Amino acid sequence: MFKNVLLVECQDTPGLVHGITGVLFKHKLNITMNQEFVESDRFFMRTEFEGPPVGSPLIAELETILPQGAIIRLGEQRPKTILIMVSHESHCLGDILIRHEFKQLPVRILGVISNHTSLQNLVNKFDLPFHFVSHENLTREEHEAKILTLIESIAPDYVVLAKYMRVLTPGFVNRFNGKMINIHHSFLPAFIGAKPYQQAFDRGVKVIGATAHFVTEELDDGPIIVQQVINVNHTANAQTMAQSGKDVEQIVLSKALKLLCEDRIFLAGNRTIIFD
């Protein structure tokens, strides 16, 4: 018995749910979960179903009943493959590695890439490949070219920036449109860029947070997937904020990764539609 996920995005018209579910029924497929949403005449639907193998014939039939230009994605419910990129900080990487070890995330980690060696021993404890790609004496473009060659040879479904602390060029980012997510230690759009906890302290904020988002050309401006906050008071400084924020960062990134790998996210311009 195959378990699949169908994602449909199209112009909203009457009878879409009836038509789509009718096609699934015709192919002897059993719907186990269905969610839909309409915004600004745009229809989004996520359907989990099980039954015999399906593929191109199902998509072709759906295309005949859906409005022109409909986006149809069909995928098997399976762990997605990911490649993690990190620099020095261990908390987000460590959380993902532990969750992966105990099968708490629907992912299969293919390896870890870093521009430093400080986390190699951590990765080795989980018997996963660690790839050190130094940025020393290289231009940003030269360094990214080496990383790109490595990623293409491994061919993951998604790339996860788990505290990778280098700004990526537009040329690199555009290779992974909708396939790369990042954790930013701030409740975006506040405090974009470097040292957000120092920025938060300087502004005297009473709430700090973390944001997981898709990576785009604009720094820390990609479609937001998950956000979470915690309260702080006047006694907190930038250092204590950063320490408190680490717990939030790892929870937010892991939740975003789970949503992504369970095919629960639609990209709608610079926004996301999420069925969780």
80-274 has the same fold as 2-76: no
CA 214 to chain centre: 6
Res 43: pLDDT: 98
Q: What are phi and psi of 221, to 5 degrees?
A: -125, 10
Residue 231 confidence (pLDDT): 86
Q: Dihedral angle at the C-alpha atoms of 33, 61, 74, 32, nearest 10 degrees?
A: 10
State phi, psi for 128 to the nearest 5 degrees. -115, 150
Q: Which residues touch 112 (CB under 8 Å, ≥6 apart)?
A: 83, 84, 85, 86, 93, 119, 123, 128, 129, 130, 131
Evaluate the omega torsion of the peptide bond into residue 189 and state whether it is cis, within 30 degrees of 0: yes
Q: Which of 188, 154, 171, 177 is nearest to 85 (CA)?
A: 154
**β-strand 158-161 against 180-184: which pairing, if any?**
parallel
**3-class DSSP assignment, residue 27:** coil
Contacts of 123 (CB under 8 A, 6+ apart): 93, 97, 112, 129, 130
* Arch. (CATH architecture) of 2-76: 2-Layer Sandwich (3.30)
Position 18 scores a pLDDT of: 98
pLDDT (tens, 9 = 90+) of the chain, 276 residues, equals 678 999 999 999 999 999 999 999 999 999 999 999 999 999 999 999 999 878 789 999 999 999 999 999 998 889 999 999 999 999 999 999 999 999 999 999 999 999 999 999 999 999 999 999 999 999 999 999 999 999 999 999 999 999 999 999 999 999 999 999 999 877 656 677 677 778 878 888 888 888 999 999 987 789 999 999 888 888 888 888 888 889 999 999 999 999 999 999 999 989 999 999
pTM above 0.75, yes or no: yes
Starting at the edge strand found earlier in the chain, the sheet holding 107-114 runs 130-132, 107-114, 80-86, 158-161, 180-184, 207-214, 224-231
How far apart are alpha carbons 140 and 45 in whole angstroms? Answer: 40
Q: Nearest CA to 148 among 121, 180, 181?
A: 180
Q: Which CATH architecture has domain 80-274?
A: 3-Layer(aba) Sandwich (3.40)
> Would you list the domain boundaries of the chain?
2-76, 80-274
Of the CA atoms within 13 Å of residue 167, those in its CB half-sphere come to 10
What are the strands of the beta sheet with 30-39, ordered from one edge? 30-39, 42-51, 2-11, 71-76
For 27, counting Cβ atoms within 10 Å of its Cβ (0-12 exposed, 13-18 middle, 19+ buried), the class is: middle
Helical H runs in 27-76? 56-65
User: Could you give the residue numbers annotated as active site?
Assistant: 220
